[in-house]
Chains A and B, each alone.
Chain A
Amino acid sequence: MAECHPVAFRWPMKAKVEHDAKLIHVDPRFTRTSAMCDIHAPIRAGTDIAFLGGLINSVVNSERWNTDPFFREYLLNYTNAAALVDPEFRDTEDLDGVFSGLMEYKGNEADWPYDGFAGSYESDTWQYAGWRQEEPGEPRGGEELSQPTRVETQAPTSRGESFDSVIRSLRRPPPPRDETLQHPRCVFQVLKRHFSRYTPETVERVTGCPRETFLRVAETVLANSGRDRTTAWAYAVGWTQHTYGPQMIGCCALLQLLLGNVGRPGGGVMAYRGHASIQGSTDVPTLYHSIHGYMPAPSALKQHGSLRDYLATEGLAEGYWANMPAFIVSYLKSMYGDAATPANDYGYDWHPKITGDHSHMPMFVAMAEGRVKGMLCIGQNPATSINASLERAGMRRLEWLVVRDNFLTETATYWYNAPEIRDGTLGPADIPTEVFFFPTAQVAESEGSFTNTQRMLQWHFKAADPPGRCRSDLWFTYQLGLRLKRMYAGSPLARDEAIRNLVWDYEPDHPESIPGEPDARKILREIAGFRTGQPDRHLAGPDELRDDGSTTCASWIYCGAYPAPDRLLPGSREPDPPGTVGAHLGWAWAWPDNRRVLYNRASADPQGRPWSERKRWIWWDGSRWTGHDVPDFPERKPPGAAARRNGIGLDAHSGRDPFILKPDGVGWLFNPAGLLDGPLPTHYEPIESPVRNALYRQQASPVLKYWKHASNQLAVVGDPRYPYVITTYRLTEHYLAGAMSRWNPWLAELMPELFIELSPELAAEKGIRNTEWVRIETPRGVIRAKALVTRRIQPLRLGDRVVHQVGMPWHWGWEGVVTGDVVNTLTALVGDPNVSIHEGKAFVCNVERG
């Protein structure tokens, strides 16, 4: 965190200096973060689930956790620990490392053979008992402890009525529970068994972290959790970029729920994102598989034929997601305006449908096979991205490529300056691609908003005009849209209606200094919502959204960010007075509804009282929820309120169910839905590993994604040609692929050359001295870098063998003030099944002097 998020690291340091907070760093390397921490736990790259699983096992078997009533109260009331799982469910304990339902992947091979799944799960046995889709009229769960009942229809809610029946038809009974947590199929017993093999000895053997260090971490984390104390976890792409990245983060969430550290101040699992406003780019997505506000992208592969089908497939009757009809209708109104009517399903048919995995890696594989015609590349540098040689092979088959960046990046010059051109393998004449380069404005040269990892929208104002004809990305996108709309304006074809009807109305009311620059505030207004036909009547929050077309709002989670034309809340800069405890609610605006701690109902006990004086956050004052933050709960719903039988939406939850987006209102220790690779996190080895999986016969994730290609070979387990674990990372001094730092002499001089960090032990073995050249090789390629020999890297002892790790920052390329080899020449196109994140943090290599 100190390495890659030094500004955010101000706060842990403040906690350390002013409040004697304990800081722990779990990382393969001893970094600038480790230097600031009380404990550094070194682990082999990619073994985080083994480490976290060890913590879980140690927590649930500890005396304190089993005797302090706080933990049990939180567990029983705020998690799904007591819920019973389907009787057919089989755990990795039963099937030696896989879950029930594993099968061959059957995707859309004909149209899009690039999904990459190694296998897939039929996940219906992972659900709660009684929740499996069965033949109509056959309620399940007769032998369960509490009898689920069939749902009866209920009076329509106050929202528009049109989609109520769809949502109501999805109502399920609450899962059966065992309040004693003894039933062998209750979530708690399942997870306890699941993690029982993650003993300190196993943790040491798998991760290489010395047992004493691991136990110190376990003790410190437990001692700092409970009624009066909370522990926070922070991670960045070191956790996400694995074939089981989402499971790592889920594993931490599971631990935090066990420790009662969710929904409380100073708790949580905090994502430090890889890029400014990456949070914003998933909220208002540049992702292929979701649309605004985390609604799934309509898909040609699912039951998404009509809006009603879409809602029947993706909707939920219980919890806040029951409002999905209002969210998506308001979204469609933002897309198609007046053309979106109840008669045409609000233009749902015009919306693009996905036909498979269209994320980064499969798109480049498809490109390499000539299936992609053109690419708009905005602020990204794929010429130096994952398996860079293969990605460039893809780019060479494009008809056209548009690159927008501050400088002529490697992606703009790959056709005349890439290594394969310089070494004579190819010439520019061999590449038919027409490349267009657009110089761009910097962020301070246009107006807009950033969304940070706290879900906080912060408006930034324009400081200066961009130089010359550099233009903002907003300008480019707006102008491109205007031209496309002009092009299709006269088209009689039905397929072009989507473009013809697209709302594209961001012309500024007052002339801008840059001709053609759209009005960023009008775009935020469309995202944050207004009454249809009355653009000056902005919406105050998502509760105002309707499913009858009367509201227009692209993103329900951003609804309320701009509640009146003169109240641009992301631009607000009013911190709480010094010395007060508060959430700084006047500083910018956080989604949803300016809530700063999500699920903060859990900061009070089931009766609505703060868990402790020290950890007060929100509480029930006898008539409403109040406190330092905006309550993430219905303001007037008393703690004692019972869930309404067959109630829809939040009526399905009681006054003590904090997790309002979850259908059952509680935090999920076990995930009955939503993940493709298992309901519980499980340690798998990275696809390339020097060792066998010490926990199960199953070596790697059975459902990971891998794209078979001559340029995407993998090393087999324990391949003697590639004996070392390699991890890649960033340095404080540089930014991503370098476009924003390698061209800046002040930053370039601080870290001028690409290097490989290796231990003195490995360096001695290989005859490599500090600053000498080293060759690094994987099955994908070879690069050179200078050696940085340091004891900050340490050989790890796994049982009776020693495994060496090396590490490389990946900021370099062949353009810029400072240049160096492309580290992503070494990486492979492998990914996680849920979100197609690549594996960039743990693979194997060889190193030699020279």
Chain B
Amino acid sequence: MPEPMGFYTDTTVCIGCKACEVACKNWNQLPAGGGGDWPMTGDSYDNTRRLDGIHWRHVKFIEQIPEDRSGGRWLMMSDVCKHCVQAGCLEVCPTGAIIRTEFDTVVIQSDTCNGCRLCIAACPFGVIDINPASNTAQKCTLCYDRMQAGLEPACSQACPTDSIRFGTIAELREMAEARVAQLHALGEKRAYLYGADETIVGGLNSFYLLVDEPEVYGLPRDPQLPSRNLLPSSLISAAGAVLLSLLALVGLRKNRMDERAASDGGPRDA
């Protein structure tokens, strides 16, 4: 078995060039939003809007510039599927189309996806959506096809500043911790890793170095898996079943009484 593989994204060196987005689309042959011609959003330099079935990489732009312009920051971050160690999408997929690969990544197999959308709702990061070209749920595969051939994913290979790093999770964590220590030493005390350990859904195989709260980057502070609701929802289901049985009994009894009334010469259709 190969070691778990993934991405480490150092957002402090992301220059927002979107080469990752284009390389991803090129390799995976994903169509452009609106055929390329759609309205600008006015949300800084972000016109990708969000991750979805045809945008598997999304560079976010966060302008933090005070009115007096002192100490302004323009944060950029290339977002992607987190390839969670405990993957909600995989839990809920009814057809088994979502698998965990030998690299510990999470991949949707298009040929067995029936487009039921359960995984879309189950992802706490809002990563998955339907690709209208295939009408199935799609997201980043961490370039499973390239990895099987011993190649680096298209996005990290295209990244000019090495903001996106690809490698074994162990290597990446070591690299990321060293970078956090370096930034702390340089006075950037806000630097921390998001998803590098088990605290977030068992660990993210695509984790981040951030310099602000997760919410600033549109990331959940405490993402929850669908299985979190397993016990309460099963209790509700059980209670519902009991209630339905009772209603059914009542219904059956009524039917019988109606039948009896009919055979007694009540009004009937011809």
Binding site for B on A (CB under 8 A): 2, 6-7, 9-10, 13-14, 16-17, 20, 30, 32-36, 40, 42, 731-733, 744-753, 755, 770-771, 786-792, 794, 817-818
Q: Are B160 and A10 touching (Cβ within 8 A)?
A: yes
Residue B117 at the chain A interface, CB threshold 8 Å: no
Give Cα A2–Cα B61 distance, bound, in whole angstroms: 15
Instruction: Decide: A771 and B17 in contact? CB cutoff 8 A.
Output: no
Q: Is the CB of A748 within 8 A of B36?
A: yes
A748 pairs with B37, CB closer than 8 A: yes
Contact at B74–A752, with CB atoms within 8 Å? no
Whether A30 lies near B42 (C-beta < 8 A) is: no
Would you give the shortest CB distance from A740 to chain B, in whole angstroms? 13
Given contacts A20-B186, A747-B22, A786-B42, contact A752 B65 (CB under 8 A): no
Contact B16 A788 (CB under 8 A): no
Please name 21 pairs of A and B residues whose Cβ atoms are closer than 8 Å in the assembled complex, sorted by A: A6-B17, A6-B160, A17-B13, A32-B17, A34-B74, A35-B16, A35-B73, A40-B72, A732-B15, A732-B17, A732-B18, A745-B36, A749-B34, A749-B47, A752-B40, A753-B39, A771-B39, A786-B42, A790-B63, A791-B63, A817-B37
A20 to B66, CA, bound (A): 27
In the complex, whether B76 has a CB less than 8 A from a CB of chain A is yes
Per-residue CB contact flags for chain B residues 1-37 toward chain A (1 = under 8 Å, else 0) read: 0000000000001011111011001100001111111
Smallest Cβ distance from A838 to chain B, in angstroms? 27
Q: Would A794 and B69 count as touching, CB distance under 8 A?
A: yes
Chain B residues with CB under 8 A of A753: 39-40
Do A752 and B38 touch (CB < 8 A)? yes
Expressed in whole angstroms, the Cα–Cα distance for A503 and B65 within the complex equals 61
B109 touches A (CB below 8 Å): no
Q: Are B16 and A30 in contact (CB under 8 A)?
A: no
Cβ of B44 under 8 Å from chain A? yes
With A32-B17, A35-B74, A36-B13 already in contact, 15 other A-B pairs whose C-beta atoms are closer than 8 Å: A2-B16, A13-B13, A17-B182, A30-B74, A32-B76, A745-B31, A746-B22, A750-B22, A786-B40, A786-B42, A789-B42, A790-B44, A791-B67, A791-B72, A792-B65
**How distant is the Cα of A72 from the Cα of B246 in the complex, in angstroms?**
100
Chain A residues with Cβ under 8 A from B15's Cβ? 2, 6, 9, 13, 32-33, 35-36, 732
User: What 4 A-B pairs come out closest when comparing CB atoms?
Assistant: A745-B36, A745-B32, A748-B36, A771-B42
Contact of A32 among B67, B72, B74 (CB under 8 A): B74
Asked if A746 contacts B13 (CB within 8 A), the reply is no
Question: How many contacts between A and B, using CB within 8 angstroms?
Answer: 127
Closest residue of A by beta carbon distance from B19: A6
| Docked complex Cα distance between A788 and B34 (Å) | 21
Of B33, B41, B160, the most chain A CB neighbours within 10 A belong to: B160
B161 within 8 A of A: yes
Give every chain A residue within 8 A of B33 (Cβ-Cβ). Answer: 749
Residues of B within 8 A of A755 (CB): 40
Whether B86 sits at the interface, judged by CB under 8 Å, is: no
B48 at the interface (CB under 8 A from A): yes
Shortest Cβ distance from residue B191 to the other chain A in the assembled complex, whole angstroms: 13
Roughly how many angstroms separate A33 CA and B13 CA in the complex, as a whole number? 11
Contact of A750 among B35, B48, B72, B74 (CB under 8 A): B48
Q: Per a CB cutoff under 8 Å, which of B32, B37, B65 touches A791?
A: B65
Query: CB-defined interface of B39-83 with A at 8 Å, one 1/0 digit per residue?
Result: 111101101100000000000000101110100111110000000
Q: B34 — which chain A residues lie within 8 A by C-beta?
A: 749, 752
Answer whether A746 and B26 are a contact pair too, CB < 8 Å, given A732-B18, A790-B44: yes
Residues of chain B lying within 8 A (CB to CB) of residue A33: 15
Residue numbers of B with Cβ under 8 A of A are: 13, 15-19, 21-22, 25-26, 31-42, 44-45, 47-48, 63, 65-67, 69, 72-76, 160-162, 179, 182, 186
Complex: chain B residue closest to A7, CB-CB: B160
Return the chain B residue nearest A5 by Cβ: B160
**Chain A nearest Cβ from B12, distance in angstroms:** 8
A734 to B66, CA, bound (A): 29
Give the shortest distance, in Å, between B36 (CB) and chain A (any CB). Answer: 3
A788 to B42, CA, bound (A): 6
List residues of chain A with CB within 8 A of the CB of B65.
30, 790-792
Q: What residues on A are CB-neighbors of B42 within 8 Å? A: 770-771, 786-789
Would A32 and B16 count as touching, CB distance under 8 A?
yes
Identify which of A17, A771, A792 contacts B63 (C-beta below 8 A): A792
B47 with A752: CB separation less than 8 A: yes
In the docked arrangement, what's the CA distance between A818 and B40, Å? 11
Q: How far is the CA of A92 from the CA of B76 in the complex (A)?
A: 46
Query: In the complex, are the beta carbons of A817 and B35 less than 8 A apart?
Result: yes
Contact partners of B162 in chain A: CB under 8 A: 10, 13-14
B186 contacts A745, CB within 8 Å?
no
Give bound CA distance, A817 to B186, whole Å: 45
- Docked-complex contact B36 and A818, CB < 8 angstroms: yes
| Chain A residue nearest in CB terms to B42 | A771
User: A658: shortest Cβ distance to chain B, in Å?
Assistant: 33
Distance between Cα atoms of A750 and B75 in the complex (Å): 18
Cβ contact within 8 Å between A732 and B74:
no
**B65 (CB) vs chain A CBs: closest residue:** A791
Question: What is the chain A residue whose CB lies nearest that of B183?
Answer: A17
Q: How far is the CB of B170 from chain A (nearest CB, A)?
A: 21
Chain B residues contacting A791 (CB-CB under 8 Å) are 63, 65-67, 69, 72
Residue of A nearest to B13 (CB): A13
User: CB < 8 Å: which of A14, A42, A792 contacts B74?
Assistant: A792
When distances are taken between beta carbons in the complex, the residues of chain B under 8 Å from A747 are 22, 36
Q: Assess the A745–B35 pair: CB atoms within 8 A.
A: yes
Known contacts A32-B74, A791-B69, A746 near B32 by CB under 8 Å: yes
A2 to chain B, nearest CB (A): 4
How many Å lie between the Cα of A731 and that of B40 in the bound state? Answer: 14
Q: Are B13 and A750 in contact (CB under 8 A)?
A: no
Inter-chain contact B13/A752, CB cutoff 8 Å = no
Q: In the complex, A305→B198 CA distance in Å?
A: 81
A771 contacts B40, C-beta separation under 8 Å: yes
- Assuming the contacts A32-B74, A35-B76, A791-B72, asked whether A2 and B40 have C-beta atoms less than 8 A apart, the reply is no
Chain A residues whose C-beta falls within 8 Å of the C-beta of B67 in the assembled complex = 791
- Is B36 within 8 A of A744, CB to CB? yes
Which residues in A have their C-beta under 8 angstroms from that of B41? 771
Closest chain A residue, CB of each to CB of B41:
A771
B186 CB, nearest partner CB in chain A, Å: 7
* Minimum CB–CB distance for A32 against chain B, Å: 5
User: What is the bound-complex CA distance between A78 and B22, given in angstroms?
Assistant: 48
Chain A residues in 8 Å Cβ range of B74: 30, 32, 34-35, 792
With CB as the reference atom, state the residue of chain B lying closest to A791. Answer: B65
Best-buried of A34, A787, A788 by chain B (most CB within 10 Å):
A788
Across the interface, which residues of A come within 8 angstroms of B66, CB to CB? Answer: 791
Residue pair B17, A2 in contact (C-beta under 8 Å): yes
Residues of B with C-beta under 8 A to A40: 72
Q: Is the CB of A750 within 8 A of B39?
A: no
Residue of B nearest to A33 (CB): B15
- For B75, give the chain A residue with the smallest CB separation: A35
Residues from chain A with a CB closer than 8 A to the CB of B40 are 751-753, 755, 771, 786, 788
Partner of B36, one of A13, A34, A746, A770: A746
Instruction: List, in ascending order, chain B residues with CB within 8 A of A732's CB.
Output: 15-18
Interfacial chain A residues near B21, Cβ < 8 Å:
746, 750
Q: In angstroms, how far is the closest chain B Cβ from the Cβ of A6? A: 4
User: What is the minimal beta-carbon distance from B42 to any residue of chain A, in angstroms?
Assistant: 4
By beta carbon, the residue of chain A nearest B44 is A790
A792 CB to nearest chain B CB (Å) = 6
Closest A residue to B35 by beta carbon equals A745
Q: CA A500 – CA B257 in complex, angstroms?
A: 113
Q: How far is the CB of B38 from chain A (nearest CB, A)?
A: 6
Contacts of A818 in B (CB 8 A): 36-37
User: Quick one: given A35-B16, A36-B15, A732-B16, are A746 and B72 in contact (CB under 8 Å)?
Assistant: no
* Cα–Cα distance between A817 and B36 once the two chains are bound (Å): 7
**How far apart are the CA atoms of A790 and B74 in the complex, in Å?**
11
